[in-house]
Amino acid sequence: MDQCTLSLEARIVAVADVFQALAQKRPYRDPLSPDEIMKILKEQVDDEKLDRDIVDSVDRQLQACWEVAISAQQA
């Protein structure tokens, strides 16, 4: 990802948006597990679609991120 193109805030929102979408139940699939979500996020980093540093930060706090994502769906 070209870090000069998007602000830090936009790159954080991009990762959070993908994480949240994957963690939520959809009509066509069940929510993904934290490990499945990280696999997809890391693939998107490799494809230069998401910021590596932000995804690494999510990985270090995976359980907390997962809990926030699923609690938002239940609210």
Residue 3: predicted pLDDT: 57
Per DSSP, the residues of 6-74 read S-HHHHHHHHHHHHHHHHS-BTTBPPPPHHHHHHHHHHHHHTTSS-HHHHHHHHHTHHHHHHHHHHHHH
% of the chain residues with pLDDT over 90:
83
Assign 2 a pLDDT band (cuts: 50, 70, 90): low
| 52/46 Cα distance (integer angstroms) | 8
Stretch 66-75: mean pLDDT: 82
| 5/48 Cα distance (integer angstroms) | 13
pTM of the model: 0.87
Tokens of 72: 């938002």
